[in-house]
């Protein structure tokens, strides 16, 4: 058990060093990010002090401009997937400062657009991100950061999935989406009470988005 933990830390160090100087090749970069994500999945919440120290380097590498501002869509989704795992590991605490978290949530919500492309390359990653967002109640942090517009964008992505499912290729619809979406704004978290007022306001905007979407569906 101890040996496995040590090996995992060594592998994370190796990936962290590689991501500090990311390759120019998009395919190679995607391979590195996929490898990093697979390693992060093995890290439990509330990791040991030594694991926390090891994670500092790759976490810093992920928020470099060369990665955070990367133009490739697949890289953005892969990056969002890594961030979702880091957020899971550090929950309920945010892994980065408020400004960086806003950028990370922008990547996260953008990744949800891939949920309407069941056969697409990024679908499985987008679904995994949704699963993690639901489990760690990331939306509560979004409310705390007053990211109402992003939450509405997320809601619109879900509406797009519904339109695709029932008016497009419904046979490909994954019922797991419903299970993942349902707890996204769960009220069991102790921080929910502090966000209740903002949640109501944001929900109102989401209902406006729903109305606009319904009008489009009826045309």
> Does residue 84 register a pLDDT over 50?
yes
> Does residue 93 register a pLDDT over 80?
yes
CA distance 26 to 56: 24
Q: What pLDDT, on a 0 to 100 scale, did the predictor assign at position 71?
A: 93
- The residues near 175 (Cβ < 8 Å, ≥ 6 apart) are none
Q: Where are the alpha helices (H) located in 112-191, listed in sequence order?
A: 123-136, 138-144, 148-167, 176-181
Q: What pLDDT, on a 0 to 100 scale, did the predictor assign at position 114?
A: 81
**Confidence category of residue 147, pLDDT binned at 50, 70, 90:** confident
The predicted-structure confidence for 122-142, as pLDDT tens digits, reads as follows 888 888 888 888 888 887 888
Q: What pLDDT, on a 0 to 100 scale, did the predictor assign at position 116?
A: 72
The pTM score is 0.75
The predicted-structure confidence for 9-50, as pLDDT tens digits, reads as follows 999 999 999 999 999 999 999 999 999 999 999 999 999 999
Q: Which of 134, 115, 116 is nearest to 126 (CA)?
A: 115
The more confidently predicted of residues 181 and 139 is 139
CA distance 3 to 98: 36
Count, in order, helices (H) and strands (E) of the chain.
11, 0
CA distance 192 to 196: 6
> Does residue 101 register a pLDDT over 60?
yes
Average pLDDT on 55-80 reads: 94
Q: Which domain holds residue 118?
A: 2-218
Q: Which residue in the block uniquely carries the two structure tokens 């919500």? A: 109
- The tokens for 192 are 């929910």
CA distance 193 to 188: 9
The predicted-structure confidence for 152-180, as pLDDT tens digits, reads as follows 888 887 777 766 655 555 445 455 555 54
Domain count, the chain: 1
Average pLDDT on 193-201 reads: 49
CATH number where 145 lies: 1.25.10
Contact at 8 Å (CB) between 112 and 126? Answer: yes
């Amino acid at each position: 058990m101890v040996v496995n933990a040590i090996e995992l830390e060594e592998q994370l160090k190796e990936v962290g060093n590689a991501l500090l100087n990311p390759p120019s090749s998009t395919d190679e970069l995607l391979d590195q990010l996929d490898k990093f994500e697979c390693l992060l999945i093995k890290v439990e919440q509330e990791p040991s002090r030594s694991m926390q120290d090891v994670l500092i380097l790759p976490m810093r590498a992920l928020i470099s401009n060369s990665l955070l501002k990367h133009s490739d869509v697949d890289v953005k989704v892969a990056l969002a997937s890594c961030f979702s795992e880091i957020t899971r590991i550090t929950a309920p605490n945010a892994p980065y400062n408020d400004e960086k978290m806003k950028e990370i949530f922008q990547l996260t919500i953008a990744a949800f657009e891939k949920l309407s492309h069941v056969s697409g390359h990024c679908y499985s990653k987008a679904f995994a991100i949704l699963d993690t967002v639901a489990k760690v109640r990331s939306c509560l942090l979004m409310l705390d950061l007053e990211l109402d517009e992003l939450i509405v964008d997320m809601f619109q992505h879900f509406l797009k999935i519904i339109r695709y499912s029932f008016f497009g290729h419904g046979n490909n619809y994954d019922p797991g989406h419903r299970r993942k979406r349902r707890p996204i704004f769960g009220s069991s978290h102790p921080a929910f009470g502090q966000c209740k007022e903002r949640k109501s306001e944001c929900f109102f905007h989401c209902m406006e988005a729903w109305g606009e979407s319904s009008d489009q569906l009826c045309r």
